[in-house]
Amino acid sequence: MTRLIATSGPISIADYMASANAHYYATRDPLGADGDFITAPEISQMFGELVGLTLADIWSRAGRPDAAYVELGPGRGTLARDALAAMARAGLAPPVHLVEASPALQAKQAALIPQAQHHASIDSLPTECPLLIVANEFFDALPIRQLVCTHAGWREVMVGLNGDRLVTAPGTTPLDGDVPEALRRAAIGTIYEQCPAATAIVAGLARQLAQQGGVLLIIDYGYCGPAVGDTLQAVRGHAFADPLANAGDADLTAHVDFTALAGAAPGLAAAGPIGQGDWLVRLGIDARTAALAAQNPQRASELHIQRDRLVKTDAMGQLFRALALHALDWPRPAGFDA
C-alpha cells in the first residue's frame, strides 16, 4: 500500500479500504478466539436457528414456493449450517448459494455445507426462483467514501504519506453536491460517509427480488441516516487498532446506514430496522434459551450468557440492527412488530 501511494499519489478511503480488506480476507480465517473478531452466529447457535425459522416462516406464508437460500459473506458457514438445520425441521430444504470471494473462507464453508454453490459476486445468483437472502455483518466490511467539510467546501478524504507513515488529508475536488442538503453547513472537520458498494448490491438484489420474489434479511451494526461522524475502525486480535496501521492485517469496517440501504430498494417493502435485541426477543430467543438449558442443564449458565451477548443493550442488542426488504407480494417477516 505504501509503495503504491508513494508511486501514484494519495488514494481515497474507499480504495484504501477495498485493497486492505481484499488482502485481509483472502489470506486468513479472521473469526474466533484465534482470529480478530467474533460474530453472532459464532456466539450462539440460537442466532442462526432464529434466522432460519424466520425464513421458513415467510416462505411458508408465501405459499411454499421452490426457493433458494443465499448468504452474503457467510464467514465459516456457521450461520448457514444452523439456519439450514432449523429450516429443515420446518420442511424447507433449499439449494444453497454462498457469495464469498475468500478462498480460505470458502474452504471452511465447504467443510460445513458441502452442497453449497459458491459465487464471487451477486451477478451469478439464480434468476429462476425466489431468493431467501441473509447478510449478517456483510455490509460493514464494504469500502466507504469519507467526505470532510473544509473551509473551501466538502472534499473527499484521501490517504497519503507523511514520511513512511500513512495519513489522511482532504482532496482537491469540490464535492458539495455529494452531501445531503441538510448536512452541507456542518462545522469544519465534519465527516460524512457513503457506501456506494452497499447501495449498488442492495439495488441489484432488489431488482431480482421484485421479479422473482423473496426477502433480503440484513443484520449489522449501524444507524439510520443521514448522519455525520467518522465510523471507520480496525479490529485486530479482538481489540480496536489504528485503521491506517497494518494495512491488510486488520479487519476494516464502518457503521452501516440502514436508511441508505432501504432507499436503494424502492421496489420492495421494508420491515425495520429495529435493534437486534428486540428482534431476537420477538422471535423467541428466550423460549429457545430455556429449552436448550432444560436439555443441557450443565450448559444453562453458558446459554444465558450467550443470550445476553446477543440481546442486551450494552452488548449487541442495540447497536446491531435488523432490516428486512421483501417482495411486495410476499408477507412481512416476523419479529419486526411488537
**What pLDDT, on the 0 to 100 scale, is given for residue 83?**
98
Is the CB of residue 95 less than 8 Å from the CB of residue 128? no
d(CA 266, CA 203): 8
d(CA 78, CA 13): 31
Q: Tell me the pLDDT tens digit for each residue of 85-98.
A: 999 999 999 999 99
Among 246, 253, 229, CA closest to 166: 246
Q: Tell me the pLDDT tens digit for each residue of 150-199.
A: 999 999 999 999 888 999 999 999 999 999 999 999 999 999 999 999 99
Among 1, 13, 25, 12, CA closest to 232: 13
φ/ψ of residue 89, rounded to 5: -65, -20
- pLDDT score of 8 more than 90: no
Is the CB of residue 186 less than 8 Å from the CB of residue 103? no
* CA dist list (Å): 194 to 9, 140, 247, 335: 22, 11, 21, 28
- pLDDT score of 34 more than 80: no
Q: SS3 for 216? A: strand
Burial class of residue 232, CB neighbours in 10 A (0-12, 13-18, 19+) = buried
Q: Say if 313 falls within a structural domain.
A: yes
DSSP per residue, 149-172: EETTEEEEEEEEEETTEEEEEE-S
Q: Say if 43 falls within a structural domain.
A: yes
Q: Say if 19 falls within a structural domain.
A: no
d(CA 71, CA 133): 6
Q: How many CA atoms lie within 13 A of 227 on its CB side?
A: 13
Among 191, 142, 143, CA closest to 170: 191
Mean pLDDT, the chain, rounded, equals 96
**What pLDDT, on the 0 to 100 scale, is given for residue 268?**
98
Give the chain's domain count.
1
Among 251, 246, 253, CA closest to 231: 253
Q: Tell me the pLDDT tens digit for each residue of 269-281.
A: 999 999 999 999 9
Among 303, 307, 313, CA closest to 274: 313
Domain interval for residue 65: 27-141+196-225+242-326
Q: Residue 37 pairs with which residues in a beta bridge? A: 31
For the whole model, what pTM was predicted? 0.96
Prior bond of 226 cis (ω within 30°): yes
**What pLDDT, on the 0 to 100 scale, is given for residue 75?**
95
Q: Say if 203 falls within a structural domain.
A: yes
d(CA 92, CA 90): 6
Tell me the three cell numbers of residue 250.
Answer: 486488520
- Residue 246 or residue 91, greater confidence: 91
Q: Say if 180 falls within a structural domain.
A: no
CATH number, domain of 41, equals: 3.40.50.12710
Q: Say if 191 falls within a structural domain.
A: no
Is the CB of residue 69 less than 8 Å from the CB of residue 88? no
- pLDDT score of 338 more than 90: no
Tell me the three cell numbers of residue 82.
Answer: 444452523
DSSP label at residue 335:
T
d(CA 335, CA 322): 9
Sheet-wide strand order for 233-236: 239-241, 233-236, 251-253
Q: Tell me the pLDDT tens digit for each residue of 111-146.
A: 999 999 999 999 999 999 999 999 999 999 999 999
Q: Tell me the pLDDT tens digit for each residue of 42-80.
A: 999 999 999 999 999 999 999 999 999 999 999 999 999
Which amino acid makes up residue 84? Answer: L
Q: Say if 177 falls within a structural domain.
A: no
Q: Say if 283 falls within a structural domain.
A: yes
